[in-house]
Structure formats: C-alpha cells, structure tokens
C-alpha cells in the first residue's frame, strides 16, 4: 500500500499569510525611519549653508526690482509700523561688507563682516516678538522651508565670539545640552570691518572673531 505525504490546507494558508506579512513589513521598514534620517542627515549642509550666507553674502534688499546689499540701513525698530514695510523688502540676510565704491557698488568682500550689519542683526533679534512671524530672521536665513506640503522649521543659535568666547552677537534659541537631539555645529574665522577698537583679535591687518552656527 503506497503512502503519500499530505500537507494541511490550514498550514499552507497560514504560511502564505505569514510570508505576505513579512514581505509587507520589509517593504515598509525604510519609510518608518525616513523622517528621522532626513532630519538628521541634512543638518550639516543646512548649518554650512547658513554660515556661508552670513559671511559670503551681503544680503538682498529689493526695492521694486532694484537689488542692493545694504539691507540694514533703513531698519529703525523705534518705529515698528515703518520697519515692517522695510522687512518685507529684505529677501536674504548677509553680513559681508560692501567692497569700496571704486570697485563696484554691490561687490562684497567675503569673510569680512560689516559691523553695522552685525549691530542691526542683533537689534532685529531683540525685537523679534514685536514683528510678524513671516518677517522673523530664520525665514530670511532659509531656516524655514515647505516640503511636501508640510512646514519644516530649523532651530538655530548663531554667535560671533571673541577668542575668549565673549559673545559679540548672540541670536537664536539656547543650544540643547541634553536629550536625544541632533545638533550640527559650524565654526568659521571671520574679520570685522570698522570694528570698535576694543573688539576682536588683531591678526595681520584684520580684527578677527569666531562665527559659530548651531542648527538642530
């Protein structure tokens, strides 16, 4: 009498369901971690881009299509109604100083910061609570973006420091010191144009300080 092996239909059904579930789980695993990975891995380029904009760009001030880099000159925070109109014209914030007139009015000198722009950026930050959100500094620095219909806002802390870590400029939120927060840091050595006599460290012909940018 011949004997043949038999497999239960219930067993085959269960095995099929298990395999299908396993395949679906494997296919979904990458999407579970994508938001975390994207946020963590893009911090370094964001911090680097922010530092580059600050020290290699003079900024963009748009007056009816006429573009200049002297965005700070018309900002008067004692008149908040008037200052809001001026802030609308500021498309990007940069701290680089303007090159001499004989060169070109709108040429800038990278890594050579304008003391007047530094002071005005600090004043702007000190008045953040009195101006509309869409005119806040983080938007002008590109630290607010829309991606896939959702808004993404980076936290930041930007400082200009004497070599003894005495702050000259301090804007942004406190840097997280604990918790599971990814923080990216960029440091750059920069010169300051027309700096006060007691500010910065003399290196050659330039008064120099450290720019420190944190993004998280």
* Domain contains 37: no
**Taking residues 18-35, what's their average pLDDT?**
62
**Mind listing the pLDDT tens digit for each residue in 7-24?**
567 767 777 777 777 776
Q: In this structure, is residue 71 part of a structural domain?
A: yes
Q: pTM for this one?
A: 0.77
Asked if residue 32 is part of any domain, the answer here is: no
Question: Does some domain include residue 174?
Answer: yes
Domain-located, residue 2: no
Tens of pLDDT, residue by residue over 120-168, are 999 999 998 888 888 999 999 989 887 777 888 899 999 999 998 899 9
Residue 153, in any domain of the structure? yes
Please check whether residue 39 lies inside any domain of the structure: no
Task: Tell whether the model's pLDDT for residue 37 goes beyond 80.
Answer: no
- The answer to whether residues 101 and 52 touch, using CB atoms and an 8 Å cutoff, is no
Domain count, the chain: 1
Distance, CA of 144 to CA of 41 (rounded, Å): 17
Is 74 domain-assigned? yes
Domain limits for position 131: 44-215
Residue 39 has pLDDT above 60, yes or no: no
CA distance 43 to 166: 26
């Amino acid at each position: 009498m011949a004997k043949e092996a038999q497999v239960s239909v219930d067993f085959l059904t269960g095995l099929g369901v298990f395999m299908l579930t396993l395949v679906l789980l494997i296919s979904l695993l990458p999407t579970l971690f994508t938001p975390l990975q994207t946020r963590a891995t893009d911090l370094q380029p964001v911090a680097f881009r922010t530092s580059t904009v600050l020290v290699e760009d003079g900024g963009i001030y748009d007056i009816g299509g006429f573009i200049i880099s002297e965005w700070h000159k018309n900002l008067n925070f004692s008149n908040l109604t008037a200052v809001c109109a001026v802030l609308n014209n500021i498309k990007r914030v940069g701290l680089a100083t303007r090159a001499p007139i004989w060169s070109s009015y709108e040429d800038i000198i990278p890594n050579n910061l304008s003391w007047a722009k530094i002071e005005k950026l600090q004043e702007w930050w000190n008045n953040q609570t009195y101006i509309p959100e869409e005119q806040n500094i983080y938007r002008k620095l590109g630290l607010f973006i829309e991606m896939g219909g959702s808004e993404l806002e980076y936290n930041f802390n930007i400082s200009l420091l004497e070599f003894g870590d005495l702050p000259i400029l301090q804007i942004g939120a406190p840097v997280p010191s604990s918790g599971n927060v990814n923080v990216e840091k960029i440091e750059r050595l920069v010169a300051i144009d027309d700096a006060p006599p007691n500010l910065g460290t003399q290196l050659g012909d330039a008064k120099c300080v450290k720019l420190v940018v944190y993004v998280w």
